[in-house]
């Protein structure tokens, strides 16, 4: 038996076939059923849901975390897929737009269970080589403390605004840390992520097309009341820039670019329809950053994959193009997509890009003078650099970015010798997510969960395959 065959045999022997538990799905179905009942109960039910949904997410998340850790992972992803949609429908049923709905806290409440992982593993940081994560945690808590001190100027003038913003910063990091330190579950994690995003792309893609064609009432209410008319389209059929079940075109483009990349590692009858509706809704979001990010991810796969897998990837892309291109070249889709694509060659006259550039030029000098920073929750703009400098200052931002860069380098520094296309795909997702930092502070919030989550799963795969190779070499040397 050669080295590669030995590696495969050890890998297959360690895969645990954990079947979905009826108990776990029963608890999730109760949560879903309760949500639907409250949404159907009108204004009173919608107001109750604003408390029940985040609280229920917290309870179900902790239950799954301890009893069914793989299903827990999927539960968290689905909360991020659907929470903004639940919020919009709840607002519509209540008859009023809520500026800051507690419903949006639901996925972060579920991720808080990962704090248990941090508590258990913090003393093992040196042994587990997780010091960069710990330093990133420290920089965020530094910004939180500064924000509390300066709480007079935060959201609504209350310390609670700083705490909410802390969740947006800390939860993505907690999630990635949890995936990394549990690297022995990498095969189960990778299968779960593939299944979740396969179904997620299908659901979000179908609703995205429906949203574009119909402009449902709850989406129109949100679009008008949120003041997003300039960036998310018009509240009429064929006028919306698709954001599907998320809360804006940008995050939707990020999630869909991630899902469409992961589809390349999936198999089964759902891949083609998921890719078709996913790509079409992805194009209808007309988020150029997402388009370019996805293309860069694909370029990285073509560059680094072995020849055999390159051929398989190229064949898959060709088949998907055969399905998607005809759909995108017929009305009522073609005009919207082609008009936006034409602006890719004329970025100098793009309004949104010029606005970001002007804001950056106006604030850059103030940002560079922030040594201590103003604290988390005190500043917001469409620039990741400005957000880091204002909220964390030189003290926190240097530590945070140093940790992030160290982790990214580590995630890209291992060449897998197994036939696992998912690990190169995680790196393609990371390249896309890093590119997204050019367009906004996507290291936090729902998009931050993609960045830090896939850093965690990439490092988990790295540790898993290194452990397998060590066992192979030990076995061969002792033979």
Burial 295-314 (b: 16+ CB within 10 A, else e): eebbebbeeebeeebeeebe
- Of 111, 128, 145, the domain-final residue: 128
DSSP line for 285-337: TT-HHHHHHHHHHHHHHHHHS-HHHHHHHHHHHHHHHHHHHHHHTSTTTHHHH
Q: What residue numbers bound the domain in which 90 lies?
A: 21-128
CB 265 within 8 A of CB 421: yes
Identify which of 186, 218, 225 has the alpha carbon closest to the alpha carbon of residue 100. Answer: 225
Q: CA-to-CA distance for 470 and 107, rounded, in angstroms?
A: 37
Instruction: Specify the pLDDT at position 333.
Output: 75
Q: Computed from CA positions of residues 284, 287, 292, 293, in that sequence, does the dihedral angle turn out positive or negative?
A: negative
Question: Would 6 be classed as within a structural domain?
Answer: no
Instruction: Specify the pLDDT at position 93.
Output: 93
DSSP line for 14-48: H----PPPHHHHHHHHHHHHHHHHHHHTHHHHHHH
Peptide bond into 259 cis (omega under 30): no
Instruction: Specify the pLDDT at position 348.
Output: 55
- Three-state DSSP at 445 gives helix
Identify which of 164, 410, 422 has the alpha carbon closest to the alpha carbon of residue 305. Answer: 422
- Three-state DSSP at 241 gives coil
Judgement on whether residues 276 and 141 belong to the same structural domain of the protein: yes
Judgement on whether residues 224 and 367 belong to the same structural domain of the protein: yes
Question: Would 221 be classed as within a structural domain?
Answer: yes
Q: CA-to-CA distance for 335 and 283, rounded, in angstroms?
A: 11
Question: Would 3 be classed as within a structural domain?
Answer: no
Judgement on whether residues 189 and 50 belong to the same structural domain of the protein: no
Judgement on whether residues 384 and 394 belong to the same structural domain of the protein: yes
Instruction: Specify the pLDDT at position 342.
Output: 63
- Of 128, 149, 175, the domain-final residue: 128
Judgement on whether residues 74 and 201 belong to the same structural domain of the protein: no
Question: Would 11 be classed as within a structural domain?
Answer: no
pLDDT, tens only, 357-392: 777 788 888 889 999 999 998 888 888 999 999 999
Question: Would 78 be classed as within a structural domain?
Answer: yes
Q: Alpha helix (H) ranges present in 95-130?
A: 106-111, 115-121, 125-128
Judgement on whether residues 161 and 288 belong to the same structural domain of the protein: yes
Tell the residue number behind the tokens 């419903």, with chain if given: 103
Question: Would 7 be classed as within a structural domain?
Answer: no
Judgement on whether residues 411 and 392 belong to the same structural domain of the protein: yes
Q: How far is CA 320 from the centre of its chain?
A: 23
Task: Say how many domains are in the chain.
Answer: 2
Judgement on whether residues 216 and 72 belong to the same structural domain of the protein: no
Judgement on whether residues 96 and 215 belong to the same structural domain of the protein: no
Judgement on whether residues 265 and 117 belong to the same structural domain of the protein: no
CB 311 within 8 A of CB 363: no
Judgement on whether residues 151 and 105 belong to the same structural domain of the protein: no
- Of 74, 96, 128, the domain-final residue: 128
Judgement on whether residues 248 and 335 belong to the same structural domain of the protein: yes
What's the whole-model pTM score? 0.90
Question: Would 16 be classed as within a structural domain?
Answer: no
pLDDT, tens only, 254-292: 999 999 999 988 888 999 899 999 999 999 999 889 999
Burial 103-116 (b: 16+ CB within 10 A, else e): bbbbbbbbbbbbee
Question: Would 2 be classed as within a structural domain?
Answer: no
Q: Enumerate residue ranges in the chain where pLDDT < 50.
A: 1-3, 5-7, 9-19, 153-157
């Amino acid at each position: 038996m050669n080295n590669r065959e030995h590696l495969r045999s050890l890998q297959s022997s360690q895969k645990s076939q954990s079947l979905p538990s009826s108990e776990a799905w029963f608890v999730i179905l109760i949560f879903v059923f309760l949500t639907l009942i409250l949404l159907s109960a009108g204004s009173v039910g919608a107001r109750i849901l604003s408390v029940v949904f985040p609280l229920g997410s917290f309870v179900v998340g902790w239950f799954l975390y301890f009893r069914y850790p793989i299903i827990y992972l999927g539960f968290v992803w689905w909360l991020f897929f659907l929470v903004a949609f639940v919020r919009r429908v709840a607002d519509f049923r209540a008859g009023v737009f809520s500026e800051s709905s507690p419903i949006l806290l639901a996925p972060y409440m579920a991720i808080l269970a990962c704090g248990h992982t941090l508590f258990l593993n913090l003393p093992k940081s040196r042994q587990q080589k997780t010091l960069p994560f710990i330093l990133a945690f420290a920089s965020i808590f530094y910004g939180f403390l500064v924000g509390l001190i300066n709480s007079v100027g935060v959201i609504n003038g209350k310390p609670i605004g700083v705490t909410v913003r802390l969740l947006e910063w800390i939860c993505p990091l907690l999630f990635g840390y949890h995936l990394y330190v549990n690297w022995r579950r990498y095969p189960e994690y990778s299968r779960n992520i593939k299944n979740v995003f396969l179904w997620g792309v299908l659901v979000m893609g179908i609703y995205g097309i429906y949203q574009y064609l119909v402009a449902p009432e709850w989406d129109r209410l949100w679009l008008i009341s949120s003041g997003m008319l300039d960036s998310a389209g018009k509240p009429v059929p064929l006028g919306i820039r698709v954001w599907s079940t998320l809360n804006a075109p940008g995050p939707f483009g990020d999630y869909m670019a991630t899902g469409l990349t992961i589809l390349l590692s999936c198999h089964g009858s759902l891949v083609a329809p998921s890719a078709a509706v996913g790509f079409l809704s992805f194009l209808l979001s007309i988020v150029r950053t997402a388009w370019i990010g996805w293309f860069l991810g694909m370029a990285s796969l073509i560059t680094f994959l072995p020849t055999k897998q390159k051929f398989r990837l190229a064949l898959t892309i060709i088949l998907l193009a055969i399905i998607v291109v005809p759909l995108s070249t017929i009305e009522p889709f073609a005009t919207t997509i082609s008009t936006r694509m034409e602006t890719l060659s004329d970025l100098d006259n793009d309004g949104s890009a010029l606005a970001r550039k002007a804001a950056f030029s106006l604030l850059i000098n103030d940002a560079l003078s922030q040594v201590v920073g103003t604290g988390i929750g005190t500043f917001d703009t469409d620039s990741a650099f400005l957000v880091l400098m204002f909220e964390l200052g030189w003290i926190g931002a240097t530590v945070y970015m140093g940790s992030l860069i160290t982790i990214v380098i580590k995630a890209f520094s291992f060449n897998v010798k197994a036939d696992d296309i998912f690990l190169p795909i995680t790196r393609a997702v990371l390249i896309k997510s890093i590119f997204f930092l050019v367009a906004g502070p996507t290291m936090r919030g729902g998009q931050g969960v993609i960045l830090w989550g896939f850093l965690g799963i990439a490092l988990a795969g790295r540790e898993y395959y290194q452990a397998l190779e060590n066992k192979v070499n030990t076995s061969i040397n002792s033979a």
